[in-house]
Structure 1
């Protein structure tokens, strides 16, 4: 039996568990908007995100919760299919897909259970504050970065597109 990218789903499970565990710790130990300074440029700050990235669509009456749940399930199903079709040798691509799946499903579970996503990683510099995020967001971002990196370092992809 040919090995495929599904063997990378352990990475999804790690991202999923780390994210939900960290959110559970925050919800059970912080008051909403409570902030603890960790470094001069980094706080743990408990906030709720009712939208998507950077609170996109947060103030649109609640329909967006269901939209983002269906979107996370659909994207995850598609990426699992692509993992199934991928060779195990495509490590960057498979890791990227797996991290995106773990992050998307963790935020989906959070959104389903709470009705919002728990965010708590707060990076800032002087008066500039990056939107607060969570480990699932980090997993999705790293996964996307790995897919971009794979595009540039994978020579067969470039050759197949030029034919």
Structure 2
């Protein structure tokens, strides 16, 4: 796969991700819910931290919420930069299309969430009890690098009380699937899933090259 095709994939994911987020941000109040099907809802939430809403300040109590948010955003920028270099490298080395596609998905998803973290705080005002305005006159709800990631996709596929015979969880009320996520999260998860499930196929050229190198090293001419 060429660099142009990879960039096209990245742009498509970013456009879908950002258009959906901006629409939700400018049309929904925080925590507003719109049922689409019994198993699918649009729910506007904002994620201040990492996956599942976990904050660095929850893990390290000596770090303030503001500092934790800045550290997380900077880490994301470093991570997406590394992923970008990896993507360019595998394209130059003409690795498998599946590997390039997966990395492009991961890169676009990570970049989509970084845009929220870096810019949304200054581009929008607060969404609590109101619909946010784009470029508000009174300024945004946070400083640059301190924005929240917009999530909206919720799939409550099943909920109920588990049978008593199930170890540890028997008799407890369970709701699956609770997390609310966005298009960028889907891209990241899909890319990682491809690398895990189709690992041998994705890294086929890499494995072949490493084997040839090892054989030539062990059997010098």
TM-score, normalization by structure 1? 0.86
Larger Rg computed on CA atoms: 2
List aligned pairs for 1:12-161, cutoff 5 A. Answer: 12-57=10-55, 60=58, 61-86=65-90, 87-112=93-118, 113-114=120-121, 115-124=147-156, 125-126=158-159, 127-128=174-175, 129-153=177-201, 154-158=203-207, 160=210
Answer 1 or 2: which has greater helix percent. Answer: 1
Contact 2:102 2:192 in 1 (8 A): yes
RCO (CA 8 Å, sep 6+): is it higher in 1 or 2? 1
Contact 2:56 2:72 in 1 (8 A): no
Q: Write the deviation string for residues 71-99 of structure 1: whole angstroms up to 9, x where unpaired.
A: 22212221221222213452111111111
Q: Write the deviation string for residues 46-91 of structure 1: whole angstroms up to 9, x where unpaired.
A: 0111001101217551223222222222122212212222134521
Backbone CA RMSD of aligned residues: 2.3
Deviates more, 1:43-52 or 1:3-12: 3-12
Structure 1 segments (4+ residues) deviating >6 Å: none
Q: Does 1:8 align with 2:6?
A: yes
Consecutive unaligned residues of structure 2, counting only runs of 5 or more, are 59-64, 122-146, 160-173, 215-221
Shift of 1:20: 0.9
Contact 2:95 2:206 in 1 (8 A): no
Corresponding residue SS for 1:62: helix
Corresponding residue SS for 1:26: helix
Consecutive unaligned residues of structure 1, counting only runs of 5 or more, are none
> What is the aligned length?
161
